[in-house]
Structure 1
Amino acid sequence: MQQIHPTAIVEDGAVLGENVKIGPYCMVGPKVTLGDDVELVSHAVIAGRTTIGARSKIFPFASIGHQPQDLKYAGEDTLLEIGEDNQIREHTTMNPGTAGGGGVTRVGNGCLFMMGTHVGHDCLVGNGVIMANNATLAGHVEVEDHVIFGGLSAVRQWCRVGAHSIIGGLTGVEFDVIPYGSVIGDRARLAGLNLIGLKRRNFSREEIHALRGAYKEIFNGEEGTLRSRADAARTNYAGFDGVQTMTKFMLDDEKRSFCTPRKSGE
């Protein structure tokens, strides 16, 4: 049974699943689809061609699906797809895609977007991602699964952020972040591996030891280039999935740049 507050506006054409709750002063546009058990607490606005998966909850003053913050946008009918079991807190903004970026912004399942977070146009966000207060993603950012963003962090357009990595508070990310990495700084520097996150997600002692060895080989080594050392680590740790994930991320596209550790004296 749907529960729609009398002050809410649900436009003709909107598709509502079972047990949807729409609180006071919410607005739901005509191209919106809300899955089963979705709840809009109050004063939330869902616009555009937006789909929100089952059991997601959206808090007051969130602005979801309005046109991208991109001057090239010309009114094309693009998409915002949000998965299941997400929590989208107060004042969060999420924009749909653009014709020049693939036409879709996509958010996975089980994510937490705290107050004031922003997901820009054409972003691809994985599962289990946590964005703390006022963390922001510019357009075209790719975020893999189980990444944590500290408060007031920001990611530049077109960057990739690898799985299980952590971005420190107040950190500005200009280059790709390796899977399992930990970065911090006004311009992000790699500070090591996200060891606490790996332990929390039950990575084995052997897998963590291999990742630490590969990290030292790649980022602390002095011979060859960063990519040649990553290629060597891929071979040296052939039996470890985590190392293979990290090195594949680094070697798939030779044009990418990465956050690296701060050099001595910097």
Structure 2
Amino acid sequence: MLDKAEVDHPAENPAIWEKVLRKLRAREMPPPERPRPDDATYDSVVAYLETALDQAAEAKPNPGRPSAYRLNRSQYANAIRDLIALEIDSALLLPADDSGYGFDNIGDVLTVSPMLLEKYISAAASISRLAAGDPSLSQTSVDYPIHPATVQTERENADLPVGSRGGIAIRHEFPLDAEYVIKVRLQRGKDATTIVGNSEQRELDIRLDGARLKLFTVNASDDDLEVRAAVKAG
């Protein structure tokens, strides 16, 4: 190979001269039975090859071929939101992504198995039904529980009104333009009659997209906390 590689132009055959460079650094060239230069000559040739190859690589960088890349489930959810303005919980539709070095967005790690492909197809079917709407959908209910040990003495997050105490902010996708029923069940004490933490009369506010649907005045044993609202899909 070296008879076809010109030492004056190592950039023309970088793969060959990279091998030569490694062998010179390790003092593996010339072969043991051949005359060998002194260390100064070794260092001079190594420095020359390193400089020439580095300059050539900098002038024409070759990062290699990128791996085929698929979206991880967080990126998939973001893409669905950006394309069709639909918020989905990708954790419910897709399995957890593999990770490498603590990251789950490395192309070499994000492989596609037959089972994962089936999950993506199933997710796409569910998302398309949500996006297009399906009048044949039967009535369903979704629960959003709050952990019983949650202390609700202050405003829980920025999605809730200023001055509020406790409560929960929920992101929910409504599949159709329809009338929906929103029910609130408050935690009961051991006697199953009184509401925990509600020794006095309080107000409970139910809002949709920031607009108030109903303001309840809740006593110690109230249980009829329900509101109906016509909601657009989305």
Q: Provide TM-score, normalisation by structure 1.
A: 0.17
Q: Which has the higher helix share?
A: 2
Structure having the larger proportion of residues in strand:
1
Work out which structure has the larger RCO, using CA pairs closer than 8 Å and 6 or more positions apart in sequence: 2
